[in-house]
Structure 1
Amino acid sequence: MLRPATHLAAILMAFSSFSAITAADETDHWSFLPPTRPEIPAVADASWPRNPIDHFLLAELEAFDIPPAPEADRATLLRRLTFDLTGLPPTPEEVEAFLDDPSPFAYEAQVDRLLASPRYGERMAQHWLDLARYADTDGFEFDHTRPDMWRYRDWVVSAFNDDLPYDRFLALQMAADELEPDNPAAAVATGFHRCYPDMVDMNDQGERRQIALDDITETTGLAVLGLTIGCARCHDHKFDPLSQVDFYRLQAFFTPARFDDAYPVSTPAQERSHDAAVRSWQGELAALRAAILRLEADPRETLAPGPPRDPRPNTQNAFATPAEDRTPDQIRIVYDALAKDPRIDPDQLDAALGPDRLAERNTLRTQLDALNDAGPPPLPVARVLVEDSPDAAPTHLLLRGQYGKPGPEVEPGFPSQLDPNAPRINPTDHSTGRRSALAAWLTQPDHPLTARVFVNRLWQLHFGRGIVATPSDFGVMGTYPSHPELLDWLATELPNQGWSIKRMQRLIVTSAAYRMSSQFDPDSHAIDPDNELFWRQNRRRLDGEAIRDALLSSSGLLNPAQGGPPIFPELPEELTKLSSQGAIWPVSPTPDERNRRSLYVFIRRNLRYPFFEAFDRPDTNASCPRRDVTTIAPQALALLNDRLAHDAASALAERLDRSTGPDPAARIRLAFLLTLGREPAPSERELASRYVNDHNEAAWHSFCLALLNLNEFVFLD
């Protein structure tokens, strides 16, 4: 560790954690105390800081005589910023505009542009969905599809794009049905709690529910509080001051809730529109049925006079009503009854119609069948957590965490080390009010953990490592903050900024610290080899979703359509053979649909999309605070051999031809701008020119494939 005081404290704390934790240890642990706003430290080099963040970092660097790395060049900055905020590469037009902008605020203008982009929400949603363990299937043996889970994904995208304040963002996911009872669509937010893997065919459905509640409790602790409270399900936590009672008291906020897989979330306007569409559709069906009935009327009356015998009153009433006065439903009843009339042989009816009327009738039937299958889509439903009653069944501590072994009854409560007071709960006529009380507690400005945990996640997003390197473990066994004062300043700044996520990110990415290059310095490395003091920017590899999106974007194949049900890209042939003739992975029918952003790729727990799996896609059975980053042979093989990469290379070569014509130099320049976000160096121009000098299609394809396989394509400097 680096700093004499704080880092020595961390070492001593780690040693003490292996012995019994005393009451004093619990009280003094830094993360259980409310954040206090520190003074912004003075620094010797007042010319370097751009905002308060830089003062905190530079004060530490100066204490160790470590100079901050120089600022990255503009092309590197724009590529880093664009991927961080949108998950996509900058376009050549954006690169050229930024490089040519002489304004001293050109960089800030780019930040504002990217934060306002609808692509911002898609990128930020990817990180949150990792925490929420989002998937489109149940997992386990049958891995059933969750047809409406995507509505929660789209809610998260919209929340980030709308800059929904983080306190409200959290509160709605905890208790939208209680906080906005007159807005059914808000309940989609509670899908956060319905992302758990689910063994739907368990013999004991009570045990299935208990497993879900355990998962909900644990994930809330990890994602929101940054605590491994799930370790206290069976016994008191071995290291943190979290008792088994604390676990079940937290769970008691959720036990009254009902798990609804088809909760109506339509708005009144949607319902009116749907009703109008249904009436119109039914009218068109009725018109076709009535036309068929008129064609068949005379032959039927000749073959079997009068209506068929049917004792049901609604059928008798339908036949008794004059044809011109029948409602669409009565026309359907008459049509169905005559179609099943046992008195008439269909062949006899066809013969009685004659060839002309028979042909007309068959045409009408074809139109009727097609229209019948093309009815208005159903009103939206969602997978949510809701309550219907102010009453709650008792919650019991489970002995050793085992279902069927209830211990003492517990009431809703917060972890005692964080707040020993009983929660203030206000029931309503449709709800216990428990989860809204939990939401209110979590979003207190002085909460010890909520803001700290979230600003640390934002820092990790932009620097590759959090100020606390264990982002979902702020407990005794988690790492000590590298910059505790900076963490507390950011945690207090979040509510000061109205809990605005975009404002906090703007603060971070406009700092001098974020703008540093990743340039290596041997002297600084000798003092701080792990870059704990952030003396340079960390070089980061893109995740699999961003790599796929970059392949599609640079080649011009990316379909920017947003939202809606998930899509299914093509699988490798060997996996297609295992997919039950498409039942498990029904490939989307058109390339345009398949080439949408990676956020919308179907997430099947038991069959991960192979390209993402090669690039460390996390297991969606548990909350993921930070993805693993490996370097393995399948990654290079995927970029070199995968159909996705070859399709992108071919499309990129065609794009170069369309955009620049036959000029090789112009093609090469555009290729570098599209794939790497920069101009080619003179040596690169020369090498590329020699390679493609015969201008044949194969040479340009392999040149483009080579660019897509560069380390620079999949890494951010």
Structure 2
Amino acid sequence: MHRLLSLQFHLLTFTLALAALASQAKAVDFNRDVRPILSDKCYVCHGPDAEARQAGLRFDTEEGALDAIVAGDPDDSDLVFRIESDDEDTVMPPPDSHLVLSDKEKATLRRWISQGAKWEGHWAFEPILRPGEPGVGVNPIDAFVISGLDAKAITPAQPSDRATWLRRVTQDLIGLPPSIAEIDAFLIDQSPVACEKVVDRLLASDDYAERMATIWLDNARYADSNGFQFDNQRTMWPWRDWVIQAFQQNMPYDQFVTEQLAGDLLENPTQQQLIATGFNRNHGYSVEGGITDEEYRVTYANDKTSTAGTLFLGLTMDCTRCHDHKYDPLDMDDYYSLYAFFNTSAESGAPGEPGRDQMAAAPFIEHGFSEDNSSKPVLAMVMKEEPRTTYILKQGLFDQPGEEVSPRTPKVLPSFDGYLPNRLGLARWLCSDDNPLFARVTVNRLWQQFFGIGLVKTSDNFGLQGELPSHPQLLDWLAAEFRDSGWDLQTVIRHIVLSATYRQSSNFRTSIDDPENRLLARGPSFRLPAELIRDQALFASGLLTGKIGGPSVMPYQPPGVWEDLNAPPSHVETYTQSDGSDLYRKSLYTYWRRAAPHPAMATFDSPSRNVCTVQRMATNTPLQALVTLHDPTYIEAARAMGEANAGMSQEAGLAIAQGFREILSRQPRDVELRLLEDLYQDRLDFYRHNPDAAERLLSVGHRVVKRGIDKPHVAALTDVYHTVFNLSETLSRK
């Protein structure tokens, strides 16, 4: 199967190269070449925002642009006269705007006008049209990628080896490395469907559901605390468990979104569908006394609106809360009409009663959720019995109502006519075949999950200031496939991870000037997310607990983190470290406090989850090394491996190689093994002469040291494994 995919990938090169031949003098493409110039340099003064618009001239619409353009005649076009002028009173953009057109940009605008000034709608707002597919047996992803590479006379990278692909796909799909048994079984299996069997096994696992849920919690701004001033505890984990169950069932994505947005509006909703609506209540709540009820109620509705805009439409709707959008065809009327969908719940901005699990914003609906024969109140949504009138809020101020609006979706997108004017109608509209954004933004985030960066780099912004897609046809093919499959996430995932594009070696290619791999001329490589770094250490050591769901847990954390919040005595909460197996649960279940995220998670760029996050940062800082060097999790994991492997042989090399493979899924190279053996011998000599140091090392963590072990030997192995945990390769997805 491996050779077949590789052969198909490279055979496509010749065929598609013929179709890629084109004249050097290409026609100017409006969306690719012209609109970005107009958006960056002209829209500030001549864009969608009517209040900021100068001279009544606008370049965000074709009708407006034609006031300054004579199609086919750049020399008679006022636009060209202005941008080429040397007179500071005439030239555009004006000097005081601090915006300057480059010579290349001026030439592009001139050439566009001379070619007829063809206008196009913004690519993201256009209908999704399935591009033509290649022949039978060819993964369309590879065809689209090779077409782009051929246009630049670039050949794809060689395929990665089988073990590397297995580690890559296992980490991506379940957030853990493969076990040695799984590696050996895959390397032995030479059947043509070996890769397909691996993918099917992974997609059917509970680990897959937990991995997907981890990503969704960022999107849905999940936390175990209320946020704001005191950031007290609340019960939201039943909603988190609903998400895990939905991914376990491979729930169709349209149903997944609908139940979260409007499960309470379905006919005879089940308790689980009501719990699903906790999505709408995931934002922060204030329990501070003396706040203005309406101000905070509006704040919560704003959060819901911005989250829906970012997560489901890929639009920066929040920019229109106080004024019309500066760049996108969105205005305040669009914002508050979308806001109206979330302005009808029986939700208050006033603080809840401390002591009731610190649940805020009464009145709200509670639904019992049994856990250990106890009932917990769960935040969910319920429609207000009497409609609440929605107004455009002047400058976004809660006490400055303006024109009345009704629930509807942005005017630039397909009409909302025919849908119920509530959250259920909104969900149906989002998931309709006519909506051009919903499928595109979703498959783009999936691509980001597997390649580290989306086909559209700005996964939170598909508007005019967002990045153009690197492979527009591939994006639309994936979106069409997702939609036409019945919104089956796993269908799209299979296409991606079984493609030759995904299989390529991730080695950096110095001959290609493409540091971000936008051309996809090599395999994906990026730093692992925070949760996966911790979880793989626990997995390799055998400490990882497989329990699914339930209340969040509190693993090792430095003292004083919560105490620094300076809450008054009546609101102080103490970090109570979990014990037993709860210490070793997946990071998905770590208690998430907005004002004080777990420091090990935050150091590796996990968000606070105060707002919807669809793309995590990926930084490299010295603090990250301090986490993996000093956090008890990694030391304890290393010593658990040391104890497990200590009795393998009198030759330490076998134990070192075994642990190395358990962590990195490959055998150490000769030079690596020699270096680690030298480290082992050096540390063994040290611990033989300093038994107290061995005792101190082996006492780190909750786990009790086994009796009768050779402590200097185990301590030396611990240092070796701990070193491997700190390798760049361990912290990266190759």
Q: CA RMSD in A?
A: 2.5
Residue 38 of structure 2: which of 6, 16, 34 is its match? 16
Q: Structure 2: which amino acid aligns with 1:417?
A: V
CA displacement 1:89-143 (0-9 Å, x = unmatched): 1111111111121212211111111111101011111111111111111112111
Q: Structure 2: which amino acid aligns with 1:153?
A: R
Matching of residue 627 in structure 1 with residue 616 in structure 2: yes
Matching of residue 520 in structure 1 with residue 508 in structure 2: yes
Partner of 2:350: none
Residue 192 of structure 1: which of 258, 279, 301 is its match? 279
SS at match of 1:252: helix
Distance in 1, Cα, partners of 2:617 & 2:593: 20
Q: Structure 2: which amino acid aligns with 1:410?
A: V
CA displacement 1:339-395 (0-9 Å, x = unmatched): xxxxxxxxxxxxxxxxxxxxxxxxxxxxxxxxxxxxx74334321111253x31211
Distance in 1, Cα, partners of 2:629 & 2:600: 12
Residue 201 of structure 2: which of 100, 106, 113 is its match? 113
SS at match of 2:142: helix
Q: Structure 2: which amino acid aligns with 1:382?
A: V
> What is the CA distance between 1:58 and its match in structure 2?
0.7
Partner of 1:557: 543
SS at match of 1:208: helix
Q: Cα 1:7–1:607, aligned 2, differ >3 Å: closer, same or farther?
A: farther
Matching of residue 383 in structure 1 with residue 379 in structure 2: yes
Distance in 1, Cα, partners of 2:500 & 2:247: 25
SS at match of 1:532: coil
Question: Within 5 A, what are the aligned runs for 1:340-351?
Answer: none
CA displacement 1:263-303 (0-9 Å, x = unmatched): 44459xx7xxx9xxxxxxxxxxxxxxxxxxxxxxxxxxxxx
Partner of 1:231: 319
Question: Within 5 A, what are the aligned runs for 1:532-611?
Answer: 532-575=518-561, 578=564, 584-611=573-600
Partner of 2:460: 472
Q: Cα 1:573–1:690, aligned 2, differ >3 Å: closer, same or farther?
A: same
> What is the CA distance between 1:32 and its match in structure 2?
1.0
SS at match of 1:568: coil
Residue 642 of structure 2: which of 644, 648, 653 is its match? 653
Q: Structure 2: which amino acid aligns with 1:40?
A: E
Distance in 1, Cα, partners of 2:374 & 2:363: 15
Distance in 2, Cα, partners of 1:16 & 1:153: 43
Distance in 2, Cα, partners of 1:579 & 1:522: 48
Residue 179 of structure 1: which of 243, 254, 266 is its match? 266
Distance in 2, Cα, partners of 1:114 & 1:548: 20
Q: Cα 1:439–1:535, aligned 2, differ >3 Å: closer, same or farther?
A: same
> What is the CA distance between 1:711 and its match in structure 2?
0.8
Question: Within 5 A, what are the aligned runs for 1:82-231?
Answer: 82-146=170-234, 148-201=235-288, 202-231=290-319
Q: Cα 1:173–1:593, aligned 2, differ >3 Å: closer, same or farther?
A: same
Q: Cα 1:529–1:703, aligned 2, differ >3 Å: closer, same or farther?
A: closer
Q: Structure 1: which amino acid aligns with 2:640?
A: A
Q: Structure 1: which amino acid aligns with 2:505?
A: S
SS at match of 1:383: coil
CA displacement 1:212-258 (0-9 Å, x = unmatched): 00110011000110000111011111100011000011111121112
Distance in 1, Cα, partners of 2:28 & 2:590: 44
Partner of 1:638: 627
8 Å Cα contact 2:346-2:363 kept in structure 1? no
> What is the CA distance between 1:63 and its match in structure 2?
1.1
Distance in 1, Cα, partners of 2:364 & 2:585: 26
Question: Within 5 A, what are the aligned runs for 1:189-338?
Answer: 189-201=276-288, 202-259=290-347, 263-266=365-368
> What is the CA distance between 1:157 and its match in structure 2?
1.1
Q: Cα 1:601–1:261, aligned 2, differ >3 Å: closer, same or farther?
A: farther
Distance in 1, Cα, partners of 2:644 & 2:576: 26
Q: Structure 1: which amino acid aligns with 2:552?
A: P
Q: Cα 1:597–1:262, aligned 2, differ >3 Å: closer, same or farther?
A: farther
Q: Percent identity?
A: 39
Distance in 1, Cα, partners of 2:25 & 2:306: 33
Q: TM-score, normalised by structure 2?
A: 0.77
SS at match of 2:404: strand
Unpaired segments ≥5 residues, structure 1: 275-375, 426-432
Distance in 2, Cα, partners of 1:508 & 1:585: 44
Partner of 1:36: 129
CA displacement 1:467-521 (0-9 Å, x = unmatched): 1000010000000111111111111111211111111101111011111111232
8 Å Cα contact 1:92-1:670 kept in structure 2? no
Distance in 1, Cα, partners of 2:720 & 2:539: 17
Q: Cα 1:696–1:424, aligned 2, differ >3 Å: closer, same or farther?
A: closer
SS at match of 1:448: coil
Q: TM-score, normalised by structure 1?
A: 0.79
Question: Within 5 A, what are the aligned runs for 1:480-519?
Answer: 480-519=468-507
Residue 662 of structure 2: which of 663, 670, 674 is its match? 674
SS at match of 1:408: strand
8 Å Cα contact 1:41-1:56 kept in structure 2? no
> What is the CA distance between 1:626 and its match in structure 2?
1.0
CA displacement 1:193-222 (0-9 Å, x = unmatched): 111122232521111111000110011000
* Higher Cα Rg, which structure: 1
Distance in 2, Cα, partners of 1:30 & 1:3: 23
Q: Structure 2: which amino acid aligns with 1:23?
A: T
Partner of 2:79: none
Q: Structure 2: which amino acid aligns with 1:36?
A: L
Question: Within 5 A, what are the aligned runs for 1:354-373?
Answer: none
SS at match of 1:492: helix
Partner of 1:312: none
> What is the CA distance between 1:692 and its match in structure 2?
3.0
Distance in 1, Cα, partners of 2:363 & 2:673: 57
Unpaired segments ≥5 residues, structure 2: 1-23, 48-59, 66-118, 348-361, 685-711
SS at match of 1:164: coil
CA displacement 1:659-683 (0-9 Å, x = unmatched): x354533312220121101112222
> What is the CA distance between 1:577 and its match in structure 2?
6.2
Q: Cα 1:638–1:266, aligned 2, differ >3 Å: closer, same or farther?
A: closer
After TM superposition, the structure 1 stretch with the greater mean CA deviation from structure 2, 256-265 or 14-23, is: 256-265
8 Å Cα contact 1:413-1:423 kept in structure 2? no
Q: Structure 1: which amino acid aligns with 2:132?
A: E
8 Å Cα contact 1:414-1:423 kept in structure 2? no
SS at match of 1:407: strand
Q: Structure 1: which amino acid aligns with 2:529?
A: D
8 Å Cα contact 2:312-2:438 kept in structure 1? yes
Residue 424 of structure 2: which of 431, 436, 456 is its match? 436
> What is the CA distance between 1:39 and its match in structure 2?
0.9
